[in-house]
Structure formats: structure tokens, C-alpha cells
Amino acid sequence: MNRIRNAESKNPLRPPGFKRILSEEILPRVNRPARYIGGEVNSALPADPEVRLLLSYPDVYEVGMSHLGLRILYDLVNRMGWAAAERAFAFGPDMEKLCRRAGIGIYSLETFTPAAEFDVWGFSLQAELTYTNLLNMIDLAGLPRRARDRDLRRHPLLLGGGAAVYNPEPLAEFFDLFLVGDAEESLPELLSALRSLGKERKSAGQEKFLSALVERVKGLYAPALYRPRYDRSGRFREIVPLNPNVPPVIEKRVLGNLDRSGVVRPLVPLTEIVHDRDVVEIMRGCPRRCRFCQAGWTSRPVRRKAGGVVISQALALNRASGHREVSLLSLSSGDWRGIESLLEDLSARLAPEQVSLSLPSLNINSFEPAFLAGLKKVRKSGLTLAPEAASLRLQKLINKPLEVGRIEKIVLESRRRGWRLLKLYFMVGLPTETEEDVLEIASYINRLSRWGGGLNVTISNFVPKAATPFQWADFLPPSELDRRHLLIKRSVPGGKVKLKFRQTFVSLIEAIIARGDRRAAGLIEEAWKLGCRFDDWSEYFQPSAWKEALERSGIQPSDCFSFPYEPGDNLPWSHIGSGVTDKVLAGEWGRALKNAAGGAG
């Protein structure tokens, strides 16, 4: 393991003999040691930066390295000159066990510096079920888990960003700061503020220092400067600023010109990752108004990258990486104006190099058979469609109406053009769903199973999320969701169709955290203490441990089954500005219920 190059250190989490222990005693004994050695093409080797940032995704390397946002920010910071970004990902269970025994903590892949020695440690927060991994990483770094127990004069600032920040309260006890919204402008502003406030960080009190950062950088939320209030029954009432100089509502940051976002020097992983391909974002935001979709509502307004910029970025990335696939990423790529000509032009340029082109996210209503001509000219893998609901009534409820006949036309055309695998995604547990709606899913699957190729169907459970029109909806008890799963299983014959169901208790934990207030921190911490890790991986999820954590933390799942808030109430995340007001969301919620009841609108 000659890629390990940092010098010996007296740091207790990088003990004497660190290089030898890691390369000779640990890495030969773990699964996929390439996760932990760094040295990828185009990885940064900072010389003497003024501000050092550690970027982390709370999952293993191959998952974290597939996240485009982290790769954009890594490249952006390392081109600034005076700041440097390095990376660290979660240790797998085997790596954690051996490193704890050896006294080795989380370190960066670039210089093998302990996480505790950075100025800022930033986490990409995309999924609630990664939160126990996050606590594990903090603990493995030798840092106090709770923000109130850390000293910002000698500990790194813990910074959170990403989709899950639209309800940051379950993590508010653990983080110093959250960046709300797009980070391409706000993160450099934060690093610049830290650069200029270096002396104040050492001398000013913690509250004064955080206040100075919040005043300088719009979109920053410092939980220590706010306090939650509850009524006598324990019901959440509001978040109150403790300092008159901090905003009562933290409005998200929006990158106005998407042409300015992208990766110039792409990291080329040494081992296979989940999305092992070049990725170019072509649009941010979504013109569709699917009422369950948090990403669609929180990423507004819609911004489209210019076609010439997309092509130049795609070709430059591919020349630098050598990947065999280029993916054009957005929430609904078919809604990018002129997508057919873009596909035709870019595909023609990539095909001579045996590089394929893909659109990983297509709204069925924007999907045209012509897209298929420009996709996968070299290799044809699976075609993925997400109807979500099968009955017209529920399609109107979620604002995603479509006809099964339209999907059949798409499927038949894809078959004619050489596709052999179809992947479908549905949800159960949507508001007002009946047994007839569930059986309609089975009927839909059976009708499409006759297309002539393989059919993989994933059934997920509806989980209400903050900052969406469905944020007031109830979550069904796991026993009822299990019953609905069984209805589908019994109605879909085996053989041609491969059915996969999301575990219902997993969805319950996700729902509790997704809409929790600060008291959810106790649940996450208790679960971590009981050994919970990688909760989004079915082989590691521990239902018994989470049930015990619920008992220890005093959180009642019944609050999730019957959500105690309604439009007009303050919610635990009402102080986070998503760009869409609760009045607008409440209007959509009312229209959804009217649609479900058979009304117009």
C-alpha cells in the first residue's frame, strides 16, 4: 500500500507506526481496501492552504463518490488557491472494528490527516438513514458528538448541507452550522469568512463567533443561536432566535446561473463505485409539481444549463476520466428544452469512442420515443420508469397523471430498439389510498409484464417529507403497509416479474426522523449507542435495536401515524426557507385531497 504517504504523527488517532499498521495489519484484512487509500487521478494534494475543509458523505466510498454535489464542491474549493478540500467516507464495519482496536480514527484520503485537525468538516446530508453513520464518524474522529461539548477554538466546525437540511432539527444538537440551498457560492463565502475571522475564532466566545459567520454568509443556520419552544403537553410550538442579529427564517441560497456549476478536474476512482460514469447536470429544479417529491419542491426555481455548456463539459469530463458512459442528470431530463437535439448531437460525438449516453431521470409525461434513438447507442441496459401510483385517482392526488397505454407505447418502442430490461417504481401508503388502489398496482404490473423482456419492480412506502405539500400527511403503520405489500405479492405471478419491497419498519424510522424536532437527536444517538450503522442497507438494519432506541428516547411512533400538525401551525422546520411558502404548500395539499375525492383542480 505505497499510496499511504503522510508522515508519522503524535495525534492519538494517528498513533506511532500509523502507516505500517494501516498498510500491513488493517488494509489486507478488510473488504475493498481501495476505499481507504486515496491517490485517485486528479485528487488534490494541498501544499499549505489557509483554510482546510474535509468533505464527507456518511456512507462507504463507492456510495459517497457517486454523489455529484460532493465532487462539484471538492473541485471548486481546490481551484480557489488559498483553500483546500479533502475527503473522508464512512468506514465499513470490518474497517471500523480494526481501526478502533488500533486507535486509528477517520482520516482524509488525500493526506491521511485526522478529521479533528481540519478547520471545517462538511457533511452531505441526503438521507435520514445515514445519520447513525454520521455519529459514528464523529465518534471515530475523537470528537464530542454534541456541539455544545465541542470547543470551536480547537475542534473543527461541523457543517451540514444537502437535501435533508430542509429539516435540520434532528441533527441540530450535533452540528455547528447548516448551509441551506445551493452551496457553489455560499461555501466559498463561508471559507472566506473563516479566513478573515481566524483571530476571532481563537478569542471570541462561541456564540459571538457563530453570529459573525451567520451575519456574513446568507443561508447559514447556526442551531446554537436558536431555541425550540414546546407547550405543556410537549408539543412543538416554534423556533426562537436568541440573538436579534440573526434572521428568524433562514432563506435558502440559489445559484442563478447553472452554467457556472460543474467539475473541471474529475476524480477517477481506483475501484468501482455505484454510479461509475461521468455525470453532467443539465437542469436544477423541476417544472413538474409531484406533491410527494421533496427534491422537486426545494430545488426551485428551474434553471437549465446551456446546450453548448453541457456538450463541452461532457466531452471534457470524458477525455479526463476515460469512463464509458456519460449521464445527463436532472430531476426530469425530458423537460430540458431541446433535449432531443442535444441527445442526437452529444451521442454522435461520443459513439465513435464507444461511450454511451444515458438519462437517469425521465418523467414519463415528458418521455418521447425519439429519446431512445439518442440513448445507449453503444450499450443498452435497463430502462427505468416511475409511475409511483397506478390508479388515476391517486395519480391526480400526487399530480402525476399518466395512462398505462402511454407507458406501453414507450415499452414497446424500447423493446424494438433493443432494450431487454424494464424497471418500474411504485409507492404504497399514499394519502387516501384504498385496497382498490393497491390492487391497481398489481394489475398495472401484470399488464406490463407481457412486454417481452425482464421486469423489475420496486415498491417503496410513502414517507411524508418537510417542505412538500404532503408534509401534513399521516404515515401508515408498518403492519398496514405489510398487508398492502402482501396484496401485491398475491396478485402478481412469479417468473416474469421480480418484485422488491422496502422494509416497512425502515420507512417508519425514516418518517419519524424526517419530520422530527430536536428531540429526535436522542433517538438517533440511542440507536447509534446500540450499534446501529448503515441503516439504509437491509443486511445491517437492526429492528430490535431501533425499537429499544424508541423506548429509551421516549418518542412515540403514533405521532407519525397521526401527524399532530395541520396547515397554519408552526412546524419544526418552519424557520428554514425552502423558497415555497407554507401557504402555497397548503393550497396544493387542499387541491390534492379535492382531487382524491373526485373534484376538479
CATH class of domain segment(s) 269-502+564-596 = alpha beta
- Grid cell digits, residue 495: 417468473
Q: What is the pLDDT of residues 184-218, one digit of tens each?
A: 999 999 999 999 998 778 777 888 999 999 999 99
Q: What is the pLDDT of residues 132-155, one digit of tens each?
A: 999 999 999 999 999 999 999 899
The CA dihedral of 337, 341, 344, 349, to the nearest 10 degrees, is -90
Q: Could you check whether the bond before residue 401 is cis, i.e. omega within 30 degrees of 0?
A: no
Residue with cell 409539481: 289
Using an 8 Å Cβ cutoff, are 161 and 122 in contact?
A: yes
What pLDDT shows up at residue 366?
A: 63
Side chain identity, residue 209: F
Q: What is the pLDDT of residues 307-342, one digit of tens each?
A: 999 999 999 999 988 888 899 999 988 888 888 889
Q: What is the pLDDT of residues 152-189, one digit of tens each?
A: 989 999 999 999 999 999 999 999 999 999 999 999 99
Is 1 a residue whose pLDDT tops 50?
no
pTM: 0.93
Is 418 a residue whose pLDDT tops 80?
no
Is 555 a residue whose pLDDT tops 90?
yes
- What is the average per-residue pLDDT within 355-366? 72
Return the CATH superfamily for domain 18-251: Cobalamin-binding domain (3.40.50.280)
Instruction: Please state, as a whole number, how many other Cβ atoms lie within 10 Å of the Cβ of residue 71.
Output: 20
CA–CA dist 280, 544 (Å, integer): 42
How far, CA to CA in Å, does 148 sit from each of 203, 392, 524? 17, 51, 17
- What is the average per-residue pLDDT within 220-242? 96
- What is the average per-residue pLDDT within 434-460? 91
What pLDDT shows up at residue 8?
A: 38
CA end-to-end span of the chain, whole Å? 63
What pLDDT shows up at residue 217?
A: 97
- What is the average per-residue pLDDT within 50-56? 97
Listed in sequence order, the residues at least 6 apart from 556 whose beta carbon sits closer than 8 Å to its beta carbon are none
What pLDDT shows up at residue 376?
A: 53
Distance of CA 325 to the CA centre of its chain: 22
Is 27 a residue whose pLDDT tops 90?
yes
Q: What is the pLDDT of residues 110-140, one digit of tens each?
A: 999 999 999 999 999 999 999 999 999 999 9
CA–CA dist 550, 539 (Å, integer): 21
Q: Where do the domains of the chain lie? A: 18-251, 269-502+564-596
Listed in sequence order, the residues at least 6 apart from 573 whose beta carbon sits closer than 8 Å to its beta carbon are 166, 167, 168, 169, 466, 467
- What is the average per-residue pLDDT within 270-277? 89
What pLDDT shows up at residue 408?
A: 80
Q: What is the pLDDT of residues 399-416, one digit of tens each?
A: 998 777 777 887 887 777
Listed in sequence order, the residues at least 6 apart from 49 whose beta carbon sits closer than 8 Å to its beta carbon are 82, 83, 84
Is 299 a residue whose pLDDT tops 70?
yes
Average pLDDT, the chain: 91
- What is the average per-residue pLDDT within 379-386? 68
| Higher-scoring residue by pLDDT: 340, 396 | 396
- pLDDT category at 69 given cuts 50, 70, 90 is very high
Q: What is the pLDDT of residues 497-547, one digit of tens each?
A: 999 999 999 999 999 999 999 999 999 999 999 999 999 999 999 999 999
How far, CA to CA in Å, does 144 sit from each of 265, 515, 593? 35, 25, 46
